[in-house]
Amino acid sequence: MGDLARFNLIGTSHAFLAAMAAVEKFAASDLAVLVYGETGTGKELVTRAIHYLSARRDGPFISVNCGALPETLVECELFGHARGAFTDAREARPGLVAQANGGTLFLDEIEAMNARAQVSLLRFLEDKEYRPIGASAVQCADVRIIGTSNADLKAMVRSGQFRSDLLFRLNVLALHLPPLRERDGDVGVLAETFLERLNRRSADPPKIFHPDTIDFMHGYGWPGNVRELENLVAREFILASGSMVKITNVDWPRAAARGAQGDALTFGNFKAAKARAVADFERSYIEALLAKSRGNLSLASRMSGKDRSELGKLLRKHGIARQDFN
């Protein structure tokens, strides 16, 4: 299990260790994998671990968020297109399947695939052959498929939203990642790990958790799972003025969740509500980070563990001027 810590997969609970034992077994295979779990449980981390512990580790690892692709572009992104396939196709372009040849293709939020793309993916899984859009020749690719989902795919099959034959193909090796609330003792282990990393990156004297923080963490339900815990520890570490990191509530994520829930109920659009909640968190986190670093982007990068360029993108995305925090 020591190898898994380098993939940021950390824990000592029975539920977590059982899942990690499956990860190591799946890495030794070359079959398709489907990873289930709530948001924030570490599905992408597990997918990367399976790839880099497998015989395909030296091959490409290509990821795509199916939920972020317009329905009309999913097939084109996956399988590419020939020159002249459509109006703007001035030259042929390989798809993600071709780019992943010899390695792994990670399909995140696979439940978001439209019906036509599901058929194309099923055909590829059956014989590893595909036809780029507008091409006459069939091409082959040696690719392992790993999909992730936080949806109930069986329920989607029953409602006609997801193909049963595709689910059978993907579900050969299925792994359910337990939510943090079911991982006894792991909240403390993870929180201390995150705090230790933040201390290493910070130029300030080391900080520790206030005793009330530990009590709160063990009593809270963590609906956002490990991601919520890591983000909360990072935010409060930045905001702490002394040597103690004290967390006794999670008003900001709860407020974001309430807003997202209200919007979802009003508009019936989960993806839009989720995007708004994420945007609210990003803005709150970046503003707190810049306040602590006094607008110094290099320092903010070290404190957050994010690349300077990535922070720059977030600033531009939310229209935040770091000069306002000097």
- pLDDT at site 199: 94
**Per-residue pLDDT at 86 exceeds 90:** no
Residue 255, pLDDT score: 40
Is the pLDDT at 317 greater than 80? The verdict is yes
Per-residue model confidence (pLDDT) at position 33: 96
Domain ranges across the chain: 2-178, 184-325
Q: Please state, in angstroms and rounded to a whole number, the distance separating the CA atoms of residues 27 and 57.
A: 10
228-244 tens-digit pLDDT = 999 999 999 988 888 99
Is the pLDDT at 250 greater than 90? The verdict is no
Q: E strands, the chain, where? A: 33-36, 61-65, 104-108, 129-130, 139-140, 144-149, 173-176, 208-209, 244-245
Please name the amino acid found at residue 107.
Answer: L
In whole angstroms, what is the distance from residue 131 CA to residue 81 CA? Answer: 8
Q: What is the pLDDT of residue 77?
A: 84
Q: Return the pLDDT at 269.
A: 56
Question: Nearest 5 degrees, angle CA 217-CA 17-CA 246?
Answer: 15
Can you read off the two tokens belonging to residue 157?
Answer: 């099959």
Burial class (CB in 10 A: 0-12, 13-18, 19+), 9: buried
For the chain, the residue count is 326
Q: Is the dihedral of CA 138, 143, 144, 147 positive or negative?
A: negative
Pick the CATH number of 2-178 from 3.40.50.300, 3.20.20.70, 1.10.1200.10, 3.40.50.720: 3.40.50.300
Q: Are the C-beta atoms of 239 and 271 separated by less than 8 Å?
A: no
Predicted local distance difference test score (pLDDT) of residue 2: 57
For residues 105 and 21, give the distance between their C-alpha atoms in angstroms, rounded to a whole number.
22
Q: In the predicted model, is pLDDT for residue 114 greater than 80?
A: yes
User: How much is the average pLDDT of 48-71?
Assistant: 90
Does residue 99 surpass a pLDDT of 90?
A: yes
Percent of the chain's residues with pLDDT above 90: 48
Span 192-210, mean pLDDT? 93
71 pLDDT exceeds 80?
no
Q: Which residue has the tokens 């489907």?
A: 34
Q: pLDDT by residue (tens digit) across 251-288? A: 644 444 444 444 444 445 566 666 777 878 888 888 88
pLDDT digits (tens, 9 = 90+) for 133-179: 777 788 899 999 999 998 899 999 999 999 999 999 999 899 999 99
Which among 159, 194, 172 has a CA at the least distance from the CA of 125? 172
Examine the pLDDT at 72 and tell me if it is beyond 90.
no
Helices (H), 28-114: 43-52, 74-79, 96-99
The residue ranking higher by pLDDT, 56 or 261, is 56
Per-residue confidence (pLDDT) for residue 17, from 0 to 100: 96
